Structure 1
C-alpha cells in the first residue's frame, strides 16, 4: 500500500502544479488561441456524451484522425498505443485481451470454446457486447469514429466481463445532410516476407435530408506472410537417458520403461542388456514435404458494414446497423526458435475461417426531460480452425494408444511380439468448429446532464450460446482404427454433429450463459461546478450451463484385431496386421457425459450486487482530481471432466475431483486516485491514475494429466496489483504534437485459494510461487510519439512523425509447469498402488530410484519474455481531399516475444511482423 500512497502523493503534486501553472504559460504564450489546445474527443464511456479529458474515468480515446495517422489496421496494431493493454495472441482471430495486468494466460486454441475462461475485458461494437472466450472479435477498423479504452473495473455500467476494463469500437453514423465518400488504398513490403495490400472505403447517402440516411463501409485487406514452414521429419520422441538420468520422451513411453524395471537389478532404459526389460518401439517418422512453403502465414480480411438512420421526429430516431466480416488465415503465426528465426516445421494443414455477423437495432428518444435508448443486438460468430497436431505426441499421455500397437500402450504386452511393437507416423490434426450466438437487449434512461442531481438507470439481458464441435483426428488406420465412427449418441443430443473420418476424440458441447442485470449511477454536485459525488450499483442474476460431452476411441470395440505381425529385420520389432471385427462398431465411446458428470449442479446460478463510488473535484474547468472505488466480476462455469477415472477412484483425490466439476466467479476490487489536467491553455494535457486492485479466486485453465487428460478451469489463486498509468499530450506549437502513454504495474500472486485442486497443484509446484508476477504483465510499458506538420504555398501540408514503444519483461503464464508423475501401473487408467496391481511398485532405472507419485517428466509452461523496444516513422503530404503517407514499422527489425507457449511440448513465439515499409493513399469528398 506504501507504493500506492507515494503514487497518490505524486498525483496531488501534479494537480497543484496544474492549478497554478496554467495561467503562467498562457501569459508566456502571448494569449494563445485555444484552437492550439490538445484535441479533445467526445466519448460515451459514462453512457453520456462527455469530453474524454473532463470525466473522472481512466479512459484513452483514439479518434478517426488519430487512427489514420497511427496506421491502425488491426487490433494487434492498436495495442501498441494502449500502454495498459496486453494480449495473449496466437494470430489473427485468436487472442485474449488484458488491462491493468489482470492476466494469467489462456487455454490452447483448440479448446477455447469449452475450457476457455470468460474474458475479463468487455469488447463492444457501439452498444453491443461482443466478447468471446479466447476469440475476441478481430474487427478491421474501417470508418471508425473512435475507439474507447476504459481501464479498471467497469462492472456497474458494462457488466460481467468488464472487471479489467472495456474496449469500445464506435462506428461513424450516417450524415443526414451531405453526401460523403472516401477511399484508401495501401501496399506494403515486409523484410523477408510477402507483400501486403488492401483497400477500404465508405459512402454516405442522405436519402431524405434531415430524415433518412444510409452509410456503407467496406474493406479488403491481404496481409502477407513472414514465417516459413521448412523441411523436417518427426516421430514420437524417446531418449534413453543415461547413468543417473531418467529417460525422456513421450510420458507413457517413459512410464513403461520405468515399469519394466520393477524387480530388476541394474536395469537400464533399453533392452540392450540381459537386465533390461523395456523394448523401445519401432517409431515411424512423418515428413512435411507436402506442406513446405515460404511466407505461408497470410491473413485476409474482407467485410463491410451498413447503417441506416431514420429520424422519426425531433425527439425520436431509429438506427439499424449490420456488419459482416470474413477472416481467413493460412499457416501459423508463432515460430519455433528451436527450428530457426521465423521458421517452423508443421506436418499438416493450418487454416482458420472466422466469420462475424453482427446486427443492432437502436431506438433513441425523449419523453419530457428523460432521454431513453433501447438497443437490441444479435451476433453470429463462426470459427472453423484446422491445425497440425503431430507434436502432441511429445506430451500426450495417451497418444501411444492412438498412434501405436497395443503392445506399446500396455506395458504388460511390451515384451509380446504378438501384440505389435510399432508407433506409426503421427499424422495427427484437430478441427475446431465453434459457433457463438449471442442475443442482447438493453434499455436505459438518463436525466439531463445539466441538473445538479443526474442519473442513468437501465436494464440488461444477455443470452450467449457457444456450440463447440471439436475433433482430434489422431487415430491411425495403421494402428487398427479402420472404422469411420460417429460421436456417442449419449453425449451428442444437444448438437447432433457429424465428424470427419479419423476422429479419435470429439467434443460436442453446448455452453450457455444467461445474464440479467439492473444498474444505475447517480451524481450529485455537492458544490456546483466544483465537487461531485457519484454512486453506482449493478444487480446481476447469472446462469451458466453446459450440455453434451466428449466421445473417444478408448474402447476395445473401436479397434480392429491384430491378427498377424510382420517383423522389422533391422530391429527385430513387430508390426501388427489388423483385420476388421465381424461386427463393425458405429460410434465412439462416451468419455464425458455432462448430464451425469454435472448432475445436481447444472445449471449454476449466482447473483449479487457490485458497487461503484466516486468523488471528483474540479480544480479549473479543464482540470480535475478524483477518487474511485469500483468492483467487477466474471461468471463461473463447468469442466467437462473433473478427473481421470483412476485418479477419481482414489480416496485422497475424491473430494478434489468432485469440486473440479465447476468453477466459481472471480471478483476484483479497485481503489483508484486520478487526475486530468488541462494546462497552459490546454496545450498540455496530463491524465494519470494510481490504483490498487485485489483479485480473488482467479480462474485459471490448466492441463495437468495427473488429474485429467482434459483441460480444466479452477479458482486457483489470489493476487494484488499496485499500478500507475497515464498519458501526456503536448502541443508546443500549432504544427507539433508530442504524446506519450505509460503504465506501471506491480503485480503479485498472494497465494493459492483453499479449494482442493488449488491445494494439489500448489503442493506440486504447478503454479508459480506466491510473490510471482501475473502473466503478461510488464512492470513498465510505454510509448512516445511526435508529429510535425506544416502548410506550404499552394496548400500542400507535409508531415513527419515518429514513435517508439517499450515493453518490460514478463512471464507468459502463472501455470509454471506440469509434472508427469509415475503411476507405477501397467496402464495409466489403473488405480495405483493396489493389491490388484502387483507390478505397482518401486523401480530403479539407470541407477535412479523411482516410486509411485514421483515426477518423471517436467513440462514447462511458463517462460520469461525479455523487454523490447520497437520504432516506427512516417512521412507524407496532404492537400484538400487527398493524402499520401509512407510509413515504416518495426524499423529495427526486432523479434519481441509477444506471447510464448509450449502447448505441444515445443516452444513457440508470437512476434511482431518484421520490418515493414508501406504506402497509403486516401481521397475523400
Structure 2
C-alpha cells in the first residue's frame, strides 16, 4: 500500500512539473556546435578552465552532451558509467557508491564506518566549478537539464587539487538563457521483470525576466524506482557448529565461540587433551530471531526528488553574476545487494534498512573582464546529510566481541575470572544508525589571459573548509544479558551529540573531521610553433591541514551490566547505576599537539602538444596528484606488542597522503573530413604509499587506515565516433588496464601477493552504441538506438585475509600462553587463522544490452526503451564484510515508455 501511495505521489508530481513547463516557445540550447556536411558536432568543454573544443584539448577526456544524456535515458550515476569504460563504482546502491577512474582503487569500507574511518576519494566530483566530493559516499545527483558531463581521466592535480589523483567528474548544468523563453518535460513509466514498476518526471523552465539582462532557469524532478530484491523469510542465531567427532573439521561460527572450543583441548598451561573432539566444550544456548516483520517482495525502492534554480544577471558587456541553488532528497528502503546463498535477488534481513540522503548546494559565480584579463570568482556551500538505518545481525558471524554484548558473562568470560554466570546467547538483533553531516565551504578566484596569444595562462587561488560530523550508534546490547542502563556520553569528551542513548546502544562514534586547504596554482602555454607545437607547464602549491576531534564510546567496561540473580537468571539495576558510557578513545586527548596534521607540497604538470592536419594532435603529458592524510580512532590496542604505549597509539594513528605520478602519450585524430573522430591515450601511473582501510581484529577492534603498499598501472584507452551517414552514427569506447601491487611499505600478511591487480580494475572494458535517425517528408524523425556494454573480470578488494587468529593467550583457562592443540585431528597453533574470510572477492565478467526506438516531431518525442535486455546479473560489487557474501547487481530486464516535450 505504501509503495502504491509513493507511486501515485510521484505521478502527481510528474504531472505538476509538466504543467509548470509553461507554453510553447523555442528548443533548449545545447553546448554542441552544429555539424556541417555530415561532420561530427563539436562539444565545448572547460576541462582546462577555459572553453575549448573537446577534440582540441590535449587531455584524455570523455564528454556526454545534455542531448546525449537524454537520448541514452541517463539520469543516475550507475547508468552513466556504462558509457565510461575506464570508470568503475563500488556500489551498495543509490547514494552509497565510490567512484574510481583508471583502476585507482584498493578497498571500500562499509558505510557504517566510512564517515569516521574512510579515506578521502581518489576522484574529484564537481558541479560546475564547485567541489562536491564526499568521504565514503558519492553525491548521487539526478542528471537532468545538464549541458554536459565531463570525465577527465588521470591526475588533474594542478587545476583541480586534492583527491583528483585518479581524475575528475564534472556535472555542468544548463545556465539561464537571457534572450529566449524555454520549457520542457520528460515523463516515463517502466516495467521491471519480477519487480515493481517505476515512474519518473522532470520539467524545466527558462524565463528572461529582463530580456538580455536577467533570466531565471528552474528544473524539478521526481523519480520513484521500484524494487526488485525480495526479503524472504529466515531465521538467525549466534553461529556455531562444533563438528563434534567429525574428523578433520575445526569448529565454525563466531570467532570467539570457535576459539573457546579449540582452547578446551588445552588441559593446562603445558599439556593438551589427547584426541580431543571438542566434546569438552559446552556450547551456549543460542536464541533465534526471525524476520517475519520485515518480509517483503521487491522491497528495495528508491525515490529521487529535487530541483535547481539558477539566476543570471548581466551587469554589462564585461561582467555577469550567476546564482544557483540545488536541492535533492534521496530516500531508499531495503538493500541493493543480494545474497546468492539465499537465492537470486533475495536476502534475509532482520531489521529495517533505510537511507535518507539530503543535499543543498549553493553557488555564486562572478565573471568579468578587466583589460585583457578574464576573471572568475566561484563561492560554494555544500550541506549534505545522510541518515541510514541498517540491519546488522550478520556481524555475529565475525564480531570477536559480540558474545560480550549479547551473551551471558559465562559465555564470554570464564570461571577463572567471573564465575559461571549463565551460558546463553540471547536474540542477536543488531542494527546501526549512521548520521553523517558534511558542511563544505569553498572559494576560488582565477584569471585567464587571452587564448589567442602565443603565451597564455590560467592562474588561481583556492580555499576549502570541509567539515564532516559522524555520529553512528551500534545497537548491540541485549537486555537478557544484563544490559539494562540507558546512558549518555562521558562529559570529558565534549560530545557533539550529548543525548541519552537507547538501552541497546553498545558502541558509538561521535567524531568530527575537518580538512582545510589553501592552494595557489597556475598553468601556462607557449606556442613554440604557432598552431603547431605548444608546451604547457603547471604548478599547484597546496597547504593542507587535517583535524580530528571527538570520541568513541563503549559498554565494554566494568559496571556495565545489572546485578545478576542466579535463582531467576535475570538482572536488576544496581543502587548506583552507571550514567555514562566508557571512553574507548578520547581523540581530543590522544591527538593533542598532533592534530591538525599539516601537509604541504607542489603538484606538477608538463605537456607537449603537436597539432597537424584539420583537428588532429599528438601529446605527451606528465602529471601528478595526491590525496590528503588523516587520523584513526583506534589503530591498535594500547598495551599490545604493536602499540605498547599511548605515544605509539598516536604515532600509528596518523596516515599520510598517498601520491601518483602519471606518464601519458595520446592522440586525437579527425578523419574522413571530420566524419570520424578517434582518440587514444596510453599511460603509466605510479601510485605510492597507498592508503588502505582495514578491519583487522588481530590489531584493533575498530576499522583503521594505514599506508601499506605501492602499485603501478599501465593502460590504453580510447573512444571512436563515426558518422557513417547523415542518419547513422557509431560510438564506441574501450580501456585496457594492467595494474599490479609492486612494493609493501610495511610488513603485512593481509594483502594479496605482490603482482596482484588493484581492486575494481578489470583488464578490459568496452562499450558501443549505434544510433540511426532520419527525417521523413512528413516531418517525423524515427530513430533506433542499440547499446552494448562489456566489463571484464576483476576483484573487489586487495585485502586478502583479516581473519581472527588463534590467540597466544587462553582466557578460557586463565593461562598466560596457549600451546598447539589438536581438535578433531587438526593441529591448531597460536597465530593460525581459525576461520578463513575471503575479503577479496572475484567479480565475473559480464555483458549488458540496452536499446530504444521511437519517433520525434517538432517539439515532441516518444520512445520505448529497454535496459539489461538479456537480464544479466552483473557483479558490480561483492562484499563479505559481515561473513556473508552480498552482491550488488543491475536492475533486471526493464522496458519502459518515455515522452518528452521541449519548446
| Fold agreement, TM-score > 0.5 | yes
CA distance in 2, matches of 1:487, 1:557: 15
CA distance in 2, matches of 1:559, 1:648: 30
Correspondence for 1:431: 433
CA distance in 2, matches of 1:266, 1:825: 20
The one of 555, 579, 583 equivalent to 1:586 is 579
Correspondence for 1:752: 744
Correspondence for 2:804: 820
1:258 deviates by 1.9
Query: Is 232-241 or 260-269 further displaced after alignment?
Result: 260-269
CA distance in 2, matches of 1:507, 1:269: 42
Correspondence for 1:385: 388
Correspondence for 2:251: 247
1:260 deviates by 2.2
**Partner of 1:740: helix, strand, or coil?**
strand
Specify whether residues 442 and 47 from structure 1 end up closer, same or farther in structure 2 by C-alpha distance, changes over 3 A only.
Answer: same
The one of 459, 478, 481 equivalent to 2:480 is 478
The one of 686, 695, 700 equivalent to 1:694 is 686
Is 1:706 aligned to 2:698, yes or no? yes
Please show how residues 248-287 of structure 1 align to structure 2 within 5 Å: 248-263=252-267, 264-266=272-274, 268=276, 270-271=278-279, 276=280, 278-287=281-290
The one of 710, 726, 748 equivalent to 1:734 is 726
Please show how residues 294-373 of structure 1 align to structure 2 within 5 Å: 294-373=297-376
1:483 deviates by 1.1
Is 1:793 aligned to 2:770, yes or no? no
CA distance in 1, matches of 2:661, 2:862: 47
Q: Does the 8 A contact of 2:666 with 2:680 survive in 1?
A: yes
Specify whether residues 490 and 499 from structure 1 end up closer, same or farther in structure 2 by C-alpha distance, changes over 3 A only.
Answer: same
1:644 deviates by 2.1
1:256 deviates by 1.2
Specify whether residues 303 and 818 from structure 1 end up closer, same or farther in structure 2 by C-alpha distance, changes over 3 A only.
Answer: same
Correspondence for 1:557: 559
1:491 deviates by 2.7
Correspondence for 1:4: none
1:494 deviates by 4.6
**Partner of 1:111: helix, strand, or coil?**
helix
Correspondence for 1:777: 761
Q: Does the 8 A contact of 2:590 with 2:650 survive in 1?
A: no
Specify whether residues 323 and 33 from structure 1 end up closer, same or farther in structure 2 by C-alpha distance, changes over 3 A only.
Answer: closer
Q: Does the 8 A contact of 2:808 with 2:830 survive in 1?
A: yes
Q: Does the 8 A contact of 1:34 with 1:681 survive in 2?
A: no
Q: Does the 8 A contact of 2:546 with 2:629 survive in 1?
A: yes
The one of 857, 872, 875 equivalent to 2:853 is 875
Q: What TM-score, normalized to structure 2?
A: 0.94
Q: Does the 8 A contact of 1:798 with 1:878 survive in 2?
A: yes
Please show how residues 569-584 of structure 1 align to structure 2 within 5 Å: 576-584=569-577
Correspondence for 1:26: none
**Partner of 1:860: helix, strand, or coil?**
coil
CA distance in 1, matches of 2:317, 2:479: 71
Q: Does the 8 A contact of 1:491 with 1:592 survive in 2?
A: no
Correspondence for 1:768: 752
Query: CA RMSD, aligned part only?
Result: 1.8
Correspondence for 2:534: 532
Please show how residues 181-196 of structure 1 align to structure 2 within 5 Å: 181-196=183-198
Q: What TM-score, normalized to structure 1?
A: 0.91
Correspondence for 1:42: 44
Correspondence for 2:10: none
1:240 deviates by 1.1
CA distance in 2, matches of 1:415, 1:603: 43
Correspondence for 1:25: none
1:160 deviates by 0.4
Please show how residues 455-854 of structure 1 align to structure 2 within 5 Å: 455-496=457-498, 499-565=501-567, 576-647=569-640, 657=649, 659-753=651-745, 758-759=746-747, 762=748, 764=749, 766-827=750-811, 837-838=815-816, 840-854=818-832
Q: Does the 8 A contact of 1:366 with 1:372 survive in 2?
A: yes
Q: Does the 8 A contact of 1:142 with 1:200 survive in 2?
A: yes
Q: Does the 8 A contact of 1:266 with 1:846 survive in 2?
A: no
Deviating 4+ runs (over 6 angstroms)? 653-656
Q: Does the 8 A contact of 1:181 with 1:202 survive in 2?
A: yes
Q: Does the 8 A contact of 2:486 with 2:500 survive in 1?
A: no
Please show how residues 48-197 of structure 1 align to structure 2 within 5 Å: 48-197=50-199
CA distance in 1, matches of 2:443, 2:35: 45
Specify whether residues 655 and 866 from structure 1 end up closer, same or farther in structure 2 by C-alpha distance, changes over 3 A only.
Answer: farther
Q: Does the 8 A contact of 2:325 with 2:361 survive in 1?
A: yes
CA distance in 2, matches of 1:236, 1:150: 48
1:405 deviates by 0.3
**Partner of 1:371: helix, strand, or coil?**
strand
CA distance in 1, matches of 2:817, 2:286: 26
Q: Does the 8 A contact of 1:467 with 1:495 survive in 2?
A: no
CA distance in 2, matches of 1:805, 1:391: 34
1:701 deviates by 0.5
What does the per-residue CA deviation read over 1:828-877, in whole Å, with 9 as the maximum and x for residues that have no partner?
Answer: 9xxxx9xx844644433223333322222222100111111111111010
Q: Does the 8 A contact of 1:413 with 1:419 survive in 2?
A: no
1:38 deviates by 1.3
Specify whether residues 596 and 847 from structure 1 end up closer, same or farther in structure 2 by C-alpha distance, changes over 3 A only.
Answer: farther
Correspondence for 2:7: none
Q: Does the 8 A contact of 2:230 with 2:298 survive in 1?
A: yes
Q: Does the 8 A contact of 1:454 with 1:522 survive in 2?
A: yes
Is 1:904 aligned to 2:882, yes or no? yes
CA distance in 2, matches of 1:248, 1:376: 56
Q: Does the 8 A contact of 1:106 with 1:700 survive in 2?
A: no
Q: Does the 8 A contact of 2:549 with 2:587 survive in 1?
A: yes
CA distance in 2, matches of 1:308, 1:240: 68
Correspondence for 2:11: none
1:649 deviates by 7.3
Correspondence for 1:886: 864
What does the per-residue CA deviation read over 1:757-814, in whole Å, with 9 as the maximum and x for residues that have no partner?
Answer: x31xx2x3x1000000000000000101100011122200000110100000001100
Query: Is 241-250 or 119-128 further displaced after alignment?
Result: 241-250
1:72 deviates by 0.2
1:413 deviates by 6.3
CA distance in 1, matches of 2:829, 2:738: 41
CA distance in 1, matches of 2:881, 2:89: 17
CA distance in 1, matches of 2:869, 2:291: 33
**Partner of 2:250: helix, strand, or coil?**
coil
CA distance in 2, matches of 1:736, 1:899: 35
CA distance in 1, matches of 2:876, 2:515: 31
Correspondence for 1:12: none
Q: Does the 8 A contact of 1:324 with 1:355 survive in 2?
A: yes
Could you list the runs of 5+ residues in structure 2 that have no partner in the other structure? 1-33
Q: Does the 8 A contact of 1:497 with 1:508 survive in 2?
A: no
Specify whether residues 341 and 492 from structure 1 end up closer, same or farther in structure 2 by C-alpha distance, changes over 3 A only.
Answer: farther
**Partner of 1:817: helix, strand, or coil?**
coil
CA distance in 1, matches of 2:480, 2:542: 54
**Partner of 2:505: helix, strand, or coil?**
coil
